[in-house]
């Protein structure tokens, strides 16, 4: 990479970044036509990147070749009580020009990650587009692993499952206690093997309250599945916020779950049939959702429904001992 100059990205680079990102998305839309959406406009992309860089938490690097920006990688520094100090590369946070090798992404990361470690960020995640294999190849060879899958279902292509003996109805405000009981389904399932995701009591309390509040939100649709008079599963839908990776006329399947003991008996399939039918009637063309790759039920069921992955969230954790166990530390240099 001797013919590249690497330097910190600034707002002076926005116009070049817009061009790189729009070209990347034009390529993405060849495989995923729904990504050629109303957000894919210079003004909106420029506004998104400008907002990102003006946030005060963005830090990244660009690659210059023959005086032109040919690639960039920008991460957002985040600090919270659960994950501590970390960096997230958003879906818009990385792009290289056509013809550039995947190796350029790896070198951009090599330059940017030094800046992130200097700020105490040892956990790095990235939203990786899937149409161009260069991005997945580069992050895989940087020791990033897949955590989350983001996918889209075209309602015109949905093929209903065979009907099961399950009743589906709309939840009402009177179902608050029902939703409170349902709220821990996902957390409990993903706490077990092979996901092993920690369950924090304060987080469970927040989720439970959020499930109750969802019934009061006019934009949220909650479907309940009942078997033998008992609520055994649910789907929760909300209008998807516009964005680079969100199709037009799209609704989000925010969360879904089935009680243990009622899985594999048509509950999820019946909810999916009813949800797709209702969302079509409401004028939506697409449904977007996401799931943990280590969630065995989700990673099997959602593709069967017709959801097509368009992006992964990948992550890497650098050993925090590097903060002192590096060759620049005088106590290391004596050996």
Please give the residue range of the domain that contains residue 199. Answer: 154-309
Which of 142, 162, 197 terminates a domain? The answer is 142
Number of independent structural domains in the chain: 2
Residues 18 and 159 placed together within one structural domain of the fold: no
The reply to whether 159 and 136 lie within a common domain is no
Please give the pLDDT value at position 321.
Answer: 93
Are the beta carbons of 285 and 156 closer than 8 angstroms?
Answer: yes
Same domain, 124 and 271: no
Pair 112, 211 in one domain: no
Q: Which residues have CB under 8 Å from 45's CB, separation 6+?
A: 18, 21, 22, 39, 92, 244
Residues 166, 136, single domain; the answer is no
Give the pLDDT score at 335.
72
Q: How far apart are CA 47 and CA 223, in angstroms?
A: 36
**Of 296, 298, 223, 226, nearest to 266 (Cα)?**
226
Domain assignment of residue 333, yes or no: no
Assigned domain for 316 exists: no
Regarding whether 137 and 15 lie in a shared domain, the answer is yes
**What's residue 333's pLDDT?**
74
Residue 133, domain member (yes or no): yes
**pTM of the complete model:** 0.96
In angstroms, the CA 262 to CA 178 distance is 16
| pLDDT tens-digit readout, 215-248 | 999 999 999 999 988 999 999 999 999 999 999 9
Q: Do 116 and 166 fall into the same domain?
A: no
Rounded Cα gap, residues 191 and 163, in angstroms: 31
For residues 167 and 194, membership in a common domain is answered with: yes
CATH number of the domain enclosing 243: 3.40.630.30
Beta strands in 81-143 (DSSP E): 84-89, 94-96, 123-129
In a domain, 222, yes or no: yes
Residue 323 in any domain: the answer is no
Q: Are residues 294 and 166 in the same domain?
A: yes
How much is the pLDDT for 328? Answer: 87
């Amino acid at each position: 990479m001797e013919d590249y100059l690497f330097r910190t990205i600034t707002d002076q680079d926005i116009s070049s970044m817009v061009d790189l990102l729009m070209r990347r998305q034009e390529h993405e839309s060849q495989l995923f036509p729904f990504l050629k959406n109303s957000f894919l406009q210079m003004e909106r992309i420029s506004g998104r990147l400008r907002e990102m860089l003006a946030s005060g938490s963005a830090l990244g690097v660009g690659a210059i070749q023959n005086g032109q920006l040919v690639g960039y990688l920008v991460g957002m520094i985040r600090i919270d009580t659960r994950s501590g100090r970390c960096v997230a590369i958003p879906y818009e946070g990385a792009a290289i020009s056509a013809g550039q090798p995947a190796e350029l992404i790896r070198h951009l990361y090599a330059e940017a990650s030094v800046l992130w470690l200097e700020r105490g960020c040892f956990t790095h995640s990235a939203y990786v587009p899937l149409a161009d294999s260069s991005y997945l190849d580069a992050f895989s060879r940087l020791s990033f692993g897949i955590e989350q899958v983001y996918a889209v279902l075209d309602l015109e292509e949905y093929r209903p499952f065979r009907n099961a003996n399950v009743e589906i109805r709309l939840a009402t405000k009177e179902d608050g206690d029902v939703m409170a009981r349902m709220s821990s389904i996902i957390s409990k399932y993903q706490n077990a093997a092979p996901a092993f995701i920690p369950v924090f009591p304060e987080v469970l309390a927040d989720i439970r309250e959020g499930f109750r509040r969802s019934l009061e939100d006019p934009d949220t649709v909650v479907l309940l599945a009942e078997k033998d008079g008992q609520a055994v599963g649910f789907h929760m839908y909300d209008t998807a916020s516009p964005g680079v990776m969100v199709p037009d006329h799209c609704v989000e399947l925010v969360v879904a779950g089935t009680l243990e003991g009622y899985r594999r008996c048509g509950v999820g399939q019946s909810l999916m049939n009813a949800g797709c039918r209702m969302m079509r009637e409401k004028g939506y063309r697409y449904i977007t959702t996401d799931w943990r790759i280590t969630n065995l039920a989700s990673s099997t069921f959602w593709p069967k429904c017709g959801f097509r992955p368009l992006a992964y969230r990948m992550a890497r954790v650098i050993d925090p001992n590097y903060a002192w166990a590096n060759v620049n530390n005088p106590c290391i240099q004596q050996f």
